[in-house]
Structure 1
Amino acid sequence: MNDPESNNSSSRNFSDEVAPDKAFDAKSFLKQVSRQAGVYQMYGSDGKILYVGKAKNLKSRLSSYFQSSGLAPKTRALVSRIQHVEVTVTPTEAEALLLEQNLIKHQRPPFNILLRDDKSYPYIMFTSGDEFPRLAMHRGVKRKGVSYFGPFPNVGAVKSSLSFLQKTFRLRQCEDSVFQNRTRPCLQFQINRCTAPCVGYIDEETYREDIRHAEMFLLGKSQALVTELADLMEAASNELNFEKAAEYRDQISALKRVQAQQIVESGTADVDVVALHQQGELVCVHVLYIRQGRILGSKSHYPKGQMMGTESELLEAFLGQFYLQSVERDFPKAVLLSHEVASVDVLAEAIQQQSGRQITFQNSYRGQRQQWMQLAASAAKENLQAKLASKQNTLQRFEALQDALGLESMPERLECFDISHSHGELTVASCVVFDTNGPLKSDYRRFNIEGITGGDDYAAMEQALHRRYTRLQKGEGVLPDILLIDGGKGQLNRAEEVLAGLAVTGVLIVGVAKGTTRKAGFETLILPKGEGEMTLASDSPALHLIQHIRDESHRFAITGHKQRRDKKRRTSRLEDIPGIGAKRRRELLRHFGGLQGVQKASVGDLAKVPLISKKMAEDIYSALNTE
């Protein structure tokens, strides 16, 4: 149930019953609400979504929001902003849950608990269609002729597994272009991490056997693999092939070391262990992934939202998004929960409707499963405490900045701009944003600077600021309290002119200039409107905050510039010549062996290439040999 317009649901919009300039008439609204299962969407006076929820009984659930007393402060804050409510009735509560999660994913309401969506999960793949299959990490669309194992919870888990497989089974990870053009073994062979199939040091049958053993490990058949390797070791020893026997011995030792590092349940177990810990306004949900009785990996999530609830309610909101919103999901057979959740039966039914998988949710367990839960709960608590400590440290830095600049109130949002280019070419400006929680990466922006004299940083800064604050003035974002400019008085004056021209007020502009030694800790703060300069102590928390955001803007600008530069380098100069399409480029590159050969060719040589006329050859020669 993903579409509000589906035949299986009916939708009613109550927005016309209340004029935008009047308070929401909850009493009249509730008289008309159905008692069936469904989804409700709450909107503010600006027409923007505030909250999405689902209910087994819509009338009962919505009535609870409009009680005269007993509401939590954040629920009261939500109710005070409601201007109208839309209701969608669904046949079952499970379909209501599916619709709710679909709406949350696409509308991102501020009062809902929001979980960052993993667009794709990493896999380990074998290019099984190749003579000597390649071992590698993969994200995105799956291809035919390739074997995939996973998905893994994160890239770290994949890299750890790849490293083990490479050390133990010595499989190639190089790209096909490298593999097909080797004339001698590479460094991976020298350090005993590859058997060098590229130069024929191993035959296909033996290599395929190594691939099969690696697949057994990835499928969780480690014990069967150890037994098989032990038999092979014994056979090699009986044949007096002691070198091969030693290889099998080393593989067995490596497998046993991995087994010793894992908490393994007797038999096999495919479970997710989900533990939640809440402290103040912050929540951490730690997920431990167990596959084939082996800990595959783990990941901590920090859901955000303006309306928190009890730990059970938070866990319920997390589970819905975690199992129903992801693009790809490796569903376990069971999910162990740290807290009791009332609607797990509805969630299990929704998962079965969406994916056809049957999952059980448990909050009663013992033995090894209890140990897994203790691990997950401990990780959730420790990670949350570390994040909380980091948040408190950031808050102290903001307070120190308030004191240093003599502000009446603590700034809550900072923006910093920086410029990056290579000798004036491909200029990129960065804008990074910090709030009292630290870097706000969702609000970062980059600007490709065009139409200026190369190397004119003033003009680049002016263009970036103008583009950024024109959008903010149009309501496309939030104005910062402080704008930091990485530069001296000239950059600061140009920034003041831009903001004045756009009628932007209430933003304090501060220049951050490097000191005479150009070393960290000696920065000079240049204040606006000719108020002078300021130097903070090297151990000042305010200076540390400024250095952090300045360095982050520098990193973000350089990264953007490198990406733009690399993209240009990957683009053939032939693409800029009118009339030279993909077919003619391919013929040219094939005939001359590459762009260098095309550049060295004469007009006569170019005209000999199929599909290239004399006039076109002259155009190509002129384009490639004229600055």
Structure 2
Amino acid sequence: MSHLEQKLNQIPPLPGVYKMLDSAGQIIYIGKSKCLKKRVKSYFTKSPKQPKIERMVFFIDDINYTVTDTHLEARLLECQLIKEIQPYFNSQMKNDRRYFYLKVTNSAHSKGLSIVPEREDHSFGPFRRKQAIQSLIDMFTHLFPIVQDNHRFNFHYHTLPEIMNPDDFSKNRQTLLQIFSEATTLNCLLNQFQICMNKESAQYHYERATTYRDLIKSLTYISHILHDYKHLTTRDVLLKIPVEDGEKLFFISKGRIVLKKYFPLLTQAAIDTFLAEGCRSKAAIVPFPDEKAAVDFQNILFSEIQALPDEWILK
């Protein structure tokens, strides 16, 4: 039996993080899974794989792994290690310096929106999906000026992009600032675009309907980053997640896990004591040194909380 086969047989069917190493001992890939044994073994089956995976498997000489109590902890550990080690075959989460911001510009000769690498006045983000944001910028050149009137928006669809006159540009700019600053305003626009898409589709104007569909998709992504994450980072969350032979509590504040503890038998008194300790500990939270680096961790926390059953979220 080869060295790798022995390692594969030793890996437990538990959540955790695995590291692929080459013959020089360099970590070339880091991954996570709810079931380490099943996931790691999948790399060495004869089933078809992506070319990148095929190349990576050729270089694997050893495998290390770390077991975690929960999938949430595995994802957060994976993210931390990828940022620290920068493995060659990892692509996501290690290049957060490339994340960017969407800026509402003040030049009437521009498209009204632009992408900037760092936070500036009237900028929003940071975002990871550059193609989605660039597509949004291009599509907004077909709808101008967008002017808010109570809970509705007035705009005209232009088949070909045109440069706005200064007055229209100013009105459009003020509306854009409101859209990206306020969740209710953005949701109102999303609802109106949905109505427009359905109307254009019913009239067989498929090109316009497609534009509205793509606008809805891009704006939904923006709303998720700007407003859903803000909801996570401005409240305290208490999670109760079942683990092997017990349960584990997590106290989350400002988008960070402040306190976590395993309980073989969880009682209401233990929950109350844990919650009080978490509330005391949150005063010592150190903010992320860089909001770009924070995006990935917040995305993991948000998506994991969203996926949990309601009875696992105590507060």
Question: What is the TM-score normalised by the length of structure 1?
Answer: 0.24
Q: In terms of Rg, which structure is larger?
A: 1
